[in-house]
Amino acid sequence: MTTPAPPVFHPGPHGLSLATRFTPGFGPALVFLPGYMSDMAGGKATAVFDWAAEIGRACLLLDYSGCGLSEGKFAEGTLSRRRDEVVALIHAHALDEVVLVGSSMGGWLMLLVAQALPGTVRALVGLAAAPDFTEWGYDTAQKAMLAAGETVLEPNPYGPEPTPTHAAFWADGQALQQLNDGVPFDGAVRLIHGQADADVPWTLALTLAEKLRSSDVQVLLIKDGDHRLSRPQDIAVLLDTLASLPRD
């Protein structure tokens, strides 16, 4: 494992300082988009960064505002804000070709960033991608609470504190649903999903594959893989997938 690169902070589009780690190299640069309450210190992000540094591949890790080392309040984070932050950080690092690697919520966000940067995003790799989870991830009562401006708290299987969903995030997500119509992206797409995922149905990967306009879409199902896909064998699949992406 490489020595972690020190974080570098950039002014974000909404006036907040955003933390990144970057290793230079050949491209397209890998840009890792963490999940809902994750950051760039997570196991998958770190593994991708270490692998990229080892082979001389450009790679950018980042923390959304209100997450990890970045400034801001988590409660104020929305998909639109995080999309704008990712776009700004790609520009700040002068990356003209990127591959977006999106984990869970990051798999939704990668679709939005790709549409915001159509000439820059060359490929997408989703890990338990969860587009539109504001729609299918909440029951009628929870949606009513969120629509009324309340915060929904749910048990967190990964930590002691409950997982909050704030009304602003939910409303923004509802306005940014991707699966009702076709997803306008033409580059290579690889969707990795565990069939033992208790949080995001693996069938969603098939739905997303169908909705993507690209003809170069592959779905890889890991029968005993859970939502995190962070075991060594899962990370090996991810790195093999990144290595096999077309470069043209």
Catalytic residue annotation: 104, 197, 227
**CB-based contact 237:222 (threshold 8 Å):** yes
CB-based contacts of 160, cutoff 8 Å, min separation 6? none
Strands (E), the chain: 8-11, 17-23, 26-33, 57-62, 98-103, 121-127, 152-154, 163-165, 188-194, 217-222
- Hey, what are 237's tokens? 């699949």
Name the amino acid, one letter, at 15.
G
* Cα–Cα nearest to 191, from 117, 123, 94, 121: 123
Q: Tokens in use for 6?
A: 């020190």
Alpha helices in 28-93 (DSSP H): 43-55, 79-92
**54 φ/ψ sector (left φ>0, alpha ψ -120 to 50, else beta):** alpha
- Cis check for the bond before 28: say yes or no (omega within 30 of 0): yes
